[in-house]
């Protein structure tokens, strides 16, 4: 399943990679969020995809939920429109998911499209303030992620989910719209007792930040807002009360790296760029504040699916902790 918004050429390459999949039976569903560039028509005419057309951009979460609702398979695979899969991708993810009944998710080995010698994501890690990032992000691929193993959860740009799991815990939280949504779904699934298996031979190449761009203030606002929402909704109280301290530590580390022209802040150059970061973070926090009562209501509903105790969730998150330098 592929969600698309005005990325016709990227979508064409993505669908072409799906057309080359081997040793697996599957259907291709494209959910188009009101594109005006002919993406939907191209997906139908050139690839015979089943296209769901939205009249507006409903976001990554709502669009995925639409596709999940109509998908007919036992497993649902997601592939970003800015990613291209190797021919064995679907088959490898399917084998991982089917290997044990408690496996509800399978993670891909995601390489950087522009430099496939580097890792984009190999499963996920999380900093204790709720910020998450791909495991091994930016590292040279020296085979250190070539073993099948349990990981925290998959990155939504290239993942597979057991549909029975989604029916039990619910799909993507549409309040997130985009960014951090895969982390929220993944942690919710882990709380419900499901596991995630990393499949190293399920390889995709991913254009990093192609949806909104790495220098997008709106992207930064969504990431910050959703970091807070995820923590409020799912974190054990023992971690949640420490959230401001971890957040402050991350900001200080980011500022130190920015002084040397390194880190994610490098995408926002100059004093004007740094001011844009501050404004985006503040806007994200303000937007999150208004949604906190809603998240607390959803937090109460987690009890019906909970299998892990808060102490077990804390240990799980700290066992897959993202280092301060990495997150900055």
Q: How many domains does the chain have?
A: 1
Q: What pLDDT was estimated at residue 215?
A: 66
What is the number of alpha carbons within 13 Å of residue 141 lying toward its C-beta? Answer: 19
Distance CA 87, CA 144 (A): 22
Asked whether residue 67 is domain-assigned, the answer is: no
Residues written for the chain: 328
pLDDT by residue for the chain (328 residues), tens digit each? Answer: 999 999 999 999 999 999 999 999 999 999 999 999 999 999 999 999 999 999 999 999 999 999 999 999 999 999 999 999 999 999 999 999 999 999 999 999 999 999 999 999 999 999 999 999 999 999 999 999 999 999 999 999 999 999 999 999 999 999 999 899 999 999 999 999 999 999 999 999 999 765 545 568 889 999 999 999 999 999 999 999 999 999 999 999 888 876 666 656 555 656 677 788 889 999 999 999 999 999 999 999 999 999 999 999 999 999 999 988 888 7
How large is the greatest C-alpha to C-alpha distance in the chain, in angstroms? 53
Whole-angstrom Cα distance, residue 25 to residue 21? 9
Domain-located, residue 266: yes
Cα 152 to chain centroid distance, Å, stands at: 12
| Cα 198 from Cα 160, distance rounded (Å) | 10
Is residue 224 domain-resident? yes
Asked if residue 3 belongs to a domain, the reply is no
Tokens of 159: 């993942």
Predicted confidence at residue 263, as pLDDT, reads: 57
Residue 320, in any domain of the structure: yes
In angstroms, the CA 41 to CA 195 distance is: 38
Q: Which pLDDT does position 5 carry in this prediction?
A: 96
**pLDDT for residue 267:** 57
What count of other Cβ atoms lies within 10 Å of the Cβ of residue 36?
9
Quick check: is 273 in a domain?
A: yes
pTM of the model: 0.93
Q: Is residue 259 part of a domain?
A: yes
Q: Half-sphere exposure of 80 toward its Cβ, with a 13 Å CA cutoff?
A: 23
pLDDT at 260: 61
Tell whether 193 is covered by a domain: no
Domain that holds residue 245: 217-327
**Per-residue pLDDT at 274:** 72
């Amino acid at each position: 399943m592929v969600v698309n918004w005005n990325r016709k050429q990227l979508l064409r390459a993505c669908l072409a990679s799906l057309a080359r999949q081997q040793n697996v039976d599957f259907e291709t569903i494209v959910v188009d969020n009101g594109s005006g560039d002919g993406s939907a028509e191209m997906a139908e005419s050139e690839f015979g995809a089943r296209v769901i057309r939205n009249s507006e951009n409903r976001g990554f979460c709502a669009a995925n939920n639409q596709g999940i609702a109509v998908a007919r398979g036992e497993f649902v695979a997601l592939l970003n429109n800015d990613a291209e899969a190797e021919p064995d991708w679907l088959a490898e993810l399917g084998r991982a998911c089917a290997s044990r009944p408690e496996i509800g998710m399978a993670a891909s080995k995601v390489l950087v499209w522009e430099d496939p010698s580097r890792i984009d994501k190999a499963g996920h890690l999380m900093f204790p303030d709720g910020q998450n990032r791909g495991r091994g992000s930016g590292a040279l691929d020296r085979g250190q992620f070539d073993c099948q193993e349990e990981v925290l959860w998959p990155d939504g740009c290239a993942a597979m989910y057991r549909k029975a799991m989604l029916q039990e815990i619910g799909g993507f939280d549409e309040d997130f719209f985009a960014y951090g949504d895969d982390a929220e779904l993944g942690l919710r699934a882990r709380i419900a007792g499901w596991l995630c298996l990393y499949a190293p031979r399920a390889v995709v190449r991913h254009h990093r930040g192609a949806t909104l761009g790495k220098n997008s203030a709106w992207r930064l606002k969504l990431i910050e807002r959703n970091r807070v929402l995820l923590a409020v909704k799912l974190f054990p109280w023992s971690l949640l009360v420490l959230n401001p301290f971890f957040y402050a530590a991350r900001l200080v580390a980011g500022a130190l790296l920015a002084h040397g022209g390194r880190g994610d802040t490098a995408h926002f150059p100059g004093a004007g760029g740094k001011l844009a970061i501050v404004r985006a973070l503040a806007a994200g926090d303000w937007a999150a504040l208004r949604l906190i009562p809603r998240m607390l209501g959803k937090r109460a509903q987690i009890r019906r699916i909970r299998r892990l105790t808060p102490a077990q969730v804390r240990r799980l998150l700290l066992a897959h902790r993202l280092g301060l330098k990495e997150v900055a």
